[in-house]
């Protein structure tokens, strides 16, 4: 129950959904949590504090360099260190499925800004503090979709494929500084956003479950164990790797 004791963890996009699940799980293991989100993270902070955890909320636009710098600075001012960054914030459940030639360029750019530039900017904001201590864990959240070539979400699939490449190259650059960089790739998860997107559920749920070796819906709780493994010293000698958690739809 204390794998993350006294570790300081920033979780982007943590105010709700899967990010909030990550934050609760990390807090349960003793971590001090920074809830970084464009949405109001104070309700989750209050919940975590009621559990006995230390937590703070920082309004953060992951695609904005200044905002990411403020996020890292606020974490350092409150806790004095940054041990783990979970790059969870992304645009997905709000997207409408469509043929790639019908994707608006503005929407393409927005997805890339949050899903690709976001992890890059946030990592760049925290890495100097990690380097100074010779320790860090960066967990980038990708998806099973790049391995499948899931159709009708080309901008999302492309962005999550870029996250895989980003993680591998970043791991090579940061290994000498005691910083591990790994990727967690969930399948179709019944997050709050996915449940609210009726079209996505109707078009994807049945074929995704049929493709799995374990034939059931995936819930946010299915990701807790793998996340804690990557965030803790259980994975100390592991970097540049991708852990796919999707019931065996992708066997990577």
pLDDT tens digits, one per residue of 50-78:
999 999 999 999 999 999 999 999 999 99
* 92 pLDDT more than 80: yes
pTM equals 0.96
How far apart, in Å, are the Cα atoms of 16 and each of 43, 72, 153?
10, 20, 23
| Euclidean distance between CA atoms 187 and 110, whole angstroms | 22
Query: What is the percent of the chain with per-residue pLDDT over 90, rounded to a whole number?
Result: 91
Cβ contacts of residue 216 below 8 Å, gap of 6+? 209, 247
For residue range 209-219, what is the model confidence (pLDDT) as tens digits? 999 999 999 99
Q: Looking at the annotation, which residues are catalytic?
A: 156
- The mean of the pLDDT values for the chain is 96
Domains of the chain: 8-244 (3.40.50.720)
| Euclidean distance between CA atoms 243 and 67, whole angstroms | 29
Which two tokens mark 43? 């309700």
For residue range 110-156, what is the model confidence (pLDDT) as tens digits? 999 999 999 999 999 999 999 999 999 999 999 999 999 999 999 99
């Amino acid at each position: 129950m204390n794998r993350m004791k006294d570790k300081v963890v920033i979780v982007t996009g943590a105010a709700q959904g899967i990010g909030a699940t990550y934050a609760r799980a990390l807090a349960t293991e003793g971590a001090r949590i920074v809830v970084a989100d464009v949405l109001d993270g104070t309700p989750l902070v209050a919940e975590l504090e009621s559990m006995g955890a230390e937590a703070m909320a920082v309004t953060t636009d992951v695609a904005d360099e200044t905002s990411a710098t403020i996020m890292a600075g606020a974490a350092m001012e409150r806790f004095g260190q940054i041990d783990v960054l979970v790059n969870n914030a992304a645009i997905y459940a709000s997207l409408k499925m469509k043929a790639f030639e019908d994707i608006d360029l503005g929407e393409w750019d927005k997805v890339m800004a949050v899903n690709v530039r976001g992890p890059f900017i946030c990592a760049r904001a925290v890495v100097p503090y990690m380097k100074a201590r010779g320790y860090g864990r960066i967990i980038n959240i990708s998806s099973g979709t790049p391995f499948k070539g899931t159709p009708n979400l080309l901008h999302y699939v492309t962005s999550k494929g870029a996250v895989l490449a980003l993680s591998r190259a970043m791991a090579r650059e940061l290994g000498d500084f005691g910083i591990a960089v790994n990727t967690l790739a969930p399948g179709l998860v019944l997050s709050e956003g996915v449940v609210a997107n009726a079209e996505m559920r109707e078009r994807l749920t049945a074929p995704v479950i049929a493709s799995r070796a374990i034939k059931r819906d995936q819930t946010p709780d299915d990701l807790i164990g793998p996340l804690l493994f990557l965030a803790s010293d259980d994975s100390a000698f592991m970097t540049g790797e991708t852990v796919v958690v999707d019931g065996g739809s992708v066997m990577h």
